[in-house]
Structure 1
Amino acid sequence: MKSFGPFTAYADALKAACPLILSKPYATVSHLQESDPQLARRTATEYCAWLYYTPEDQYEMSMLADQSRPDDLVTGLRSCVLPAFVNDSRYAAGSLKHIFALHNHPFGTRLSAADLRFIEAMANVHEWRS
């Protein structure tokens, strides 16, 4: 398992993760929406990853996933299937704290209902605390 980091502060990890995700092919297609909406729908790719906290008091980003949901081709939307847990062989199972689920919106949209359902589901899985 390859990760991106480590960082001592989550803000630094986020500052590094955003340009990395947005630099991936077709991570943003809003520029194509007016000129060629069909091409925009076909090429748009949503990437996702976990920002997680390690037992060494460091923040890391998991590998990027770009696997879409099967119904994305039918709906014309893009989503990313993010596993519920990071498997980092350097650390014991259950020792990582999942902090943020990161992903781009290729069409420049806001959080969707599906995003909010995923956030709620992961909060239940990971027992997040303030």
Structure 2
Amino acid sequence: LSKSKKFGSRRIDIEKLRKLSTKSIASAWSVKRLVSYVMSSGLSTISRTVDDFGKAESEITSEWEARNCAQRVFKNVAKHNAKYLEEEDLLRFLKSEEVYTIFPLFEGARDWKDHKVFF
């Protein structure tokens, strides 16, 4: 959790969060700050997301549903007004090894050497 000097807003460093959750025991101070940030920012916790997912339709049964789901994922991952996903878009959410594993699996990954996936 850090404060941006330019804008005064708080942000979470994902890499620090990964290290906190997998390698070390968090201090009470770190956990308190993280919890208060999540509660005040409107971020969803994993358990809340899983509960919401359980209430929703959990199986895609048509091409229309698949396209709709893909568009929602694209909108949430790609930069504003982008026409394709770039490697750096995925690196915000995944480790580099995971990106290199899944990126070529996208149907639109014709130009993998350009590190872009077209939709």
Fold-level match, TM-score > 0.5?
no
TM-score normalised to structure 1 length: 0.25
Normalized against structure 2, the TM-score is what?
0.26
**Larger RCO, structure (CA 8 Å, separation 6 or more):** 1
Structure ranking higher in strand proportion: 1
The structure number with the bigger radius of gyration is 2
Higher helix proportion (structure 1 or 2): 2
